Structure 1
Amino acid sequence: MSSSVADNELTEGDLVGPMVRLAWPMVVIQLLQVAYNLADTFWLGRLSATAVGAISLAFPLIFFLISVGGGFTAAGAILVAQHRGAGGDTAAGLVAGQTISFVGLVSIGLALLGYFLTDPLLSLLPTDAETGAVLVPMATDYMEVFMLGTPALFGFFVFVSLMRGYGNTRTPMRIMMVSVAVNVVLDPLLIFGVGPFPRLEIVGAAYATIFARFVATVLGFYVLFGTGVGPDIRREHLRPRYEQVKDIVDLGVPTAIEQSTTSLALVVMTVLVASFPPAVVAAYGLGNRLISLVFLPAIGLGQAVDTVVGQNLGADRPDRAERATYLAVKLVVGVMVVVAVVVALFPDPIVTVFLPPDTPAAEATLGYARSYLRISTVMFAFMGTRHVVLGAFRGAGNTRTALAFSLLTFAGLRVPLTYAFAFLLDMGATGIWVGVAAADVVAALAALAWFTRGTWKEAVVDDGPGGPGGSEAAPSESSGPEAGSGSEGAAVTDDD
């Protein structure tokens, strides 16, 4: 099955087939992204439950780091997609080069800043005594290595986004497969010290992940600069230029704010959870990783809706954009209900894959993790709906609306509800699980209600001469920060 759709296929004729063909490669790419975390969790789970808890503390900081880079790489993808669609290959190459240079400088700054701030930031967590004595130092060791590897991490993000904006998804997918394979092989070697490799324990997982990302970055840049695949980037395109960097910042900041808001809310959630014993912290991190895996189909379908809505509004087909969104909601609800039933009935085989019962201190962690998964199944269909509806808002260029509902979900609902259930109502760990689920149910219903108002049905891209859709439009002629939300909204063309 092709990972691309033909011209006009999204704006004419059947919707289901093109939308599914657009969504499945995105699901695979997301799955490969999650595989990094799952590989670390799998092998660290065989080291100890405390190691799993330590990366649970580190994960929100990693997510925040990714959100900053993701916003700016998404901006590059938007601009590349616009110029590529307009036939402006030279302008697409220039924007791609400017994105590489700008994000590269940002990544170096974040690497140095993150390395020196990791220890003081984690030490500020109001942790349980045992959590502070055992988990925080392990999380600090992990994050200091991870932070220094930020340029390798961001370099790969840039490659994936630029190639996706150009319309090529197969090449990033293949390189990600190589990178994940490297990580999976190195994890046990460096964590446990197999053969000539030193026993580095949790720090070994960080080294394995960063080296795997470095391999992916090297391969990706070879594709960009050493082959004819992707944007035509020339050496002069790498010299920073004010107008192009301004466009990248204007487009990237709203997306970065939305993503970083989510990550900051997760940091606050981690602060709340860290006040509980290590078994609860580990179960929270383990549950979140498993839930993120469950929602890959919803994320992929939401990204597909982003593109379908954008193209149909651009073609002056708001009725078709609306129909596509409702169709995607039905699809994702059907899938999520089935998944929820399976998870609710069989949580044990799922959690013990990543934390065997005979692992030290595993019994308590597994009990909390089972409870978290069972309660979270209530929100599965609703969270899937929210992903699809926010994808429609982004595809329409209403990134501020998507930002507002992300703020509502995480800052406005998840944190306060979790605090209320866990502490004010004295429900303990169960209150954490209930608060997370309740927040997503309410947020999904609110987003769907707003969607039915129909105020999102106007295109924001000017296809006239000189606009983003015009031939050889200059990079500075983008439609501004409301032009889209990220590389997922790029038009998809032939991959090979």
Structure 2
Amino acid sequence: MLSERSFVVDASEIRAVFEVGLPTAVQQGTNQIVRLIIVAVVFAVGGVAGIAAYTVGARVASIAFIPAQGLQQAAQSIVGQNLGAKKLDRAKRTTWLGVRLAAIGLGVIGVIQWLLPVVLTEAFVPELSPEGLALSVEYLRILAYGYPALGAIYLFQAGFNGASRTKVSMYASVVQYWGVRLPIAAVGGLVLSFGMHAVFWAVTLSNIAAAVGLGIYFYHSANTGMFRRASATAAD
């Protein structure tokens, strides 16, 4: 039964919640800001046809995001449970298994997308100008190259998040969006006059860069005691 005596505010628990949750909030917020800026770049570079192609790509890519996000949520829960049970090897194996499953699964989706870009475009936007259709087809094929990397990103982040290292996911996203995607799109599209090609490749290259960076850092962290420290903290 709830009583005044049982209602106690634990400052350390509140601090722990903010330490884990705040980086995730910052990560999502900064990502959305970059996406808005890139929409402005797209309009400046490609006009209405460019916006149409970028929108088609975002809608089709959302199909790939859903299974990747589902695997991420499941994996980080399993990682956290294994760390609480002091099963460190299982936590590590869960992350690597999830990375393989996500990369292969999204890779298959990417192959389908690369082979059927016209069908997918017309399914989402039945009436497009020839220029808009051509740009959409090009964007869908370029996006497909980065789908395995996209799956790997979600699952590497699950490994870090499950170990309460949400700041790693935040920093990786900041570099991915602000350090790679936005500069390539803005400089390539507006300054170097590569047009929509720069914007399209900015998305894929930023995904690949983030996957490689997270993979290297996860390998290093997992082999230098990240899970051991997280398990000890959970026990405390």
TM tier, smaller:
0.7 to 0.9
Match for residue 261 of structure 1?
Answer: 30
Q: Distance in 1 between matches of 2:62 and 2:102?
A: 15
> What's the secondary structure of 2:122's corresponding residue?
helix
Deviation at 1:270, TM superposition (A): 1.7
**Alpha-carbon displacement from aligned partner over 1:32-76 (angstroms, at most 9, x marks no partner):** xxxxxxxxxxxxxxxxxxxxxxxxxxxxxxxxxxxxxxxxxxxxx
Match for residue 93 of structure 2?
Answer: 323
Deviation at 1:295, TM superposition (A): 2.4
Match for residue 274 of structure 1?
Answer: 43
| Shift in CA distance, 398/245, structure 1 to aligned 2, threshold 3 Å | closer
Deviation at 1:262, TM superposition (A): 0.8
Q: Distance in 2 between matches of 1:90 and 1:274?
A: 56
Pick the aligned partner of 1:380 from 135, 144, 147. Answer: 147
Two-structure CA RMSD over aligned residues (Å): 2.5
Structure with greater proportional helix content: 2
1:85-104 equivalent positions in 2, closer than 5 A: none
Match for residue 440 of structure 1?
Answer: 207
* Aligned 8 A contact 1:306 1:394 in 2: yes
* Aligned 8 A contact 1:258 1:406 in 2: yes
Q: Distance in 2 between matches of 1:292 and 1:352?
A: 16
1:287 partner amino acid: G
| Shift in CA distance, 90/299, structure 1 to aligned 2, threshold 3 Å | farther
| Shift in CA distance, 462/388, structure 1 to aligned 2, threshold 3 Å | closer
Deviation at 1:325, TM superposition (A): 1.0
Q: Distance in 1 between matches of 2:63 and 2:2?
A: 38
| Shift in CA distance, 257/326, structure 1 to aligned 2, threshold 3 Å | same
1:144-159 equivalent positions in 2, closer than 5 A: none
* Aligned 8 A contact 1:385 1:444 in 2: yes
* Aligned 8 A contact 2:20 2:164 in 1: no
Deviation at 1:406, TM superposition (A): 0.9
Question: Percent identity at matched positions?
Answer: 28
* Aligned 8 A contact 1:355 1:362 in 2: no
Q: Distance in 2 between matches of 1:348 and 1:430?
A: 18
Q: Distance in 2 between matches of 1:250 and 1:327?
A: 27
**Alpha-carbon displacement from aligned partner over 1:191-214 (angstroms, at most 9, x marks no partner):** xxxxxxxxxxxxxxxxxxxxxxxx
1:263 partner amino acid: Q
* Aligned 8 A contact 1:405 1:443 in 2: yes
* Aligned 8 A contact 2:20 2:166 in 1: no
| Shift in CA distance, 388/267, structure 1 to aligned 2, threshold 3 Å | same
- Unmatched runs of 5 consecutive residues or more in structure 1: 1-88, 92-236, 465-496
Match for residue 175 of structure 1?
Answer: none
Match for residue 313 of structure 1?
Answer: 83
* Aligned 8 A contact 1:301 1:388 in 2: yes
Deviation at 1:327, TM superposition (A): 1.0
Q: Distance in 2 between matches of 1:292 and 1:333?
A: 16
Q: Distance in 2 between matches of 1:419 and 1:380?
A: 22
| Shift in CA distance, 371/397, structure 1 to aligned 2, threshold 3 Å | same
* Aligned 8 A contact 1:340 1:377 in 2: yes
2:66 is the counterpart of 1:332: no
Match for residue 343 of structure 1?
Answer: 113
* Aligned 8 A contact 2:71 2:155 in 1: yes
* Aligned 8 A contact 1:356 1:362 in 2: no
Deviation at 1:242, TM superposition (A): 10
1:296-307 equivalent positions in 2, closer than 5 A: 296-307=66-77
| Shift in CA distance, 299/257, structure 1 to aligned 2, threshold 3 Å | same
Give me the TM-score of the superposition, normalised by structure 1: 0.43
- Unmatched runs of 5 consecutive residues or more in structure 2: none
1:79-478 equivalent positions in 2, closer than 5 A: 251-276=20-45, 277-357=47-127, 362-453=129-220, 454=222, 455=224, 456-457=226-227, 458-459=229-230, 461-464=233-236
